[in-house]
Amino acid sequence: MPDFDQPHRRFNPLTGEWVLVSPHRTKRPWQGRTEKTDSQKRPSYLPDCYLCPGNKRANGVVNPDYKFTYVFNNDFAALLPGQRFWQLKEHDFLKAESIEGTCRVLCFSPRHDLTLAEMEIEAIERVIDLWIENLTDLGKTYRWVQIFENKGEIMGCSNPHPHGQIWAGNFLPSEPQKEDVNQKNYFRRKNSVLLLDYLDEELKREERIVLQNEHWVVLVPFWAVWPFETLLLPRKLRFHLHFLESEEKKSLAEIIKKLLTRYDNLFRASFPYTMGWHGAPFGAAAENHWQLHAHFYPPLLRSANVKKFMVGYEMLAEAQRDFTAEQAARRLQTLSDVHFGTEVS
C-alpha cells in the first residue's frame, strides 16, 4: 500500500511529467513575502480603466457603450497576422521559425467591480458564448486558439476589470503539444480516451472530486502541482467548446460560478489564478483522442497573501508541492457555494 504521507512522486499522464509531493513539510515556518490583499470595494465604473465602456484605450480607440461583453484586438499583441514565412533549420542549435497569429481581449462584463465568481449565471453563459464565437472564428485560420484568464495582480494581471484573453497562432504550442502526444499515444494503445478513463477512475474513488453536476466534474487532479489546482471536465466526449450542447453550456456556467465562489471563500479574498481551455487543435486530421478540459492554476498556498513560488528545485529539477491533492480536495469540498461577499451578517 502506498503511504502518501511519505515524500513521493506522482505522474501526470497528460504531460508525461512528474511532481514531487512532500506532505510532511506542511508545518514549515513561513517568514517569506506576504502580498497585500486588495479588499477595497471597487467602483462599478472607472474613468481611466481601458476596459470600461466608453473609455479610450492606449491606441486612442474608444470602447463602445457595451452592455454585456466586448471583444477587441489586443493593442499590444504578442502574435501578429500577415507575417513573412521563414524557417531556420540548417543548424541543430539554431532552430527557429516565423509564426503568425492574433490576440484578442475579451471583456466579461461592463461592470468594473465584478469578477466571474460574482456574475449572474446568464452573464457567465454569455462569456461562454463569447469564448465559443471567438474560438470558431479563429479556428478557421489558426491551429491553436488559447482561451485564458489571468486574474489578480500577483498573476501579473494589469487590470481588475473582469476580462480574459485569446491568443491564436498557426502552430501547436509546447503545453498542448505534450497533451496531444500523450492523449494520442493512450488512444492508440487502449482505443479509448485518456481523460474519460481518468474521470471514471476519479468518480469511482470520489476522494479528489470537488464539484459535479449533470454534465461537468471539477476535481483536484492526482498529479496537481499548484496548491489548489483543479481540472474541469465534461462527462461526455467533447473535442472542444464549440461542440457543447446548450444544456451543457448552462451547467458549465453554474459549475464555474460554484468553483470560483469556493476559491474566493477559501481565504475570504478574491482568488487569483490563471485558467484556460484545452481542446482539439484545429486543422488536424484525426482529433479522436482529444477531450476538452479547463485547467485552473491558482498560486495561493496558505492565506490570501502567501503564495507558492516555483523556484529552486522546481526550476532546476521538478515541480514540488507540500500538502497532497487529496488534502486540497478536502478543503475545497467543505466550502460554501455562497460567496463570502454576499453573506448577510
Site residues for ligand H2U per CB under 6 A: 50, 57-58, 74-76, 105, 150, 156-159, 163, 165
Give, for 188, the enclosing helix (H) or strand (E). helix 174-190
- Using CB distances below 5 to 8 A depending on partner kind, what does residue 105 bind out of ligand H2U, Zn ion, none? ligand H2U
Tell me how far, at minimum, the Cβ of 182 lies from ligand H2U, in Å. 29
* Strand residues in the chain grouped as ranges (E): 8-12, 17-21, 70-73, 87-88, 96-97, 101-107, 144-151, 163-169, 209-212, 216-219, 230-234, 273-278, 293-297, 300-303, 306-307, 319-321
| C-beta of 112 vs 249, nearer to Zn ion | 112
Burial grade of 59 (CB within 10 A; 0-12, 13-18, 19 or more): exposed
Distance CA 120, CA 162 (A): 13
- Choose one: 25-33, 38-46, 175-183, 242-250; the region binding Zn ion (CB under 5 A): 38-46
Q: What is the DSSP code string of 219-285?
A: E--TT--STT-EEEEESS--SSGGG--HHHHHHHHHHHHHHHHHHHHHTTSPPPEEEEEE-PPTT-S
Backbone dihedral angles phi then psi of residue 80, each to the nearest 5 degrees:
-125, 140
Tell me how far, at minimum, the Cβ of 66 lies from Zn ion, in Å. 11
| C-beta of 126 vs 242, nearer to Zn ion | 126
Tell me how far, at minimum, the Cβ of 155 lies from ligand H2U, in Å. 8
| C-beta of 52 vs 241, nearer to ligand H2U | 52
Segment 64-123, which members bind Zn ion (CB under 5 A)? 112
- Using CB distances below 5 to 8 A depending on partner kind, what does residue 262 bind out of Zn ion, ligand H2U, none? none
Please name the residue that has the C-alpha cell 455562497. 338
**Residue 240 grid coordinates:** 472542444
Query: Would you say 195 and 183 are in contact if contact means Cβ atoms under 8 Å apart?
Result: yes
112 in active site? no
Binding of residue 51 to Zn ion (CB under 5 A) = yes
Residues 124-163: x where in contact with Zn ion by CB under 5 A, - otherwise, as a string = -------------------------------------x--
Binding of residue 49 to Zn ion (CB under 5 A) = yes
- Using CB distances below 5 to 8 A depending on partner kind, what does residue 218 bind out of Zn ion, ligand H2U, none? none
Whole-number CA gyration radius for the chain: 21
Tell me how far, at minimum, the Cβ of 73 lies from ligand H2U, in Å. 7
| C-beta of 66 vs 243, nearer to Zn ion | 66
Question: Can you count the helices (H) and strands (E) in the chain?
Answer: 6, 16
Catalytic residue among 8, 112, 161, 163: 163
| C-beta of 7 vs 43, nearer to Zn ion | 43
Contact positions vs Zn ion (CB under 5 A): 46, 49, 51-52, 112, 161
**Looking at the annotation, which residues are catalytic?**
163
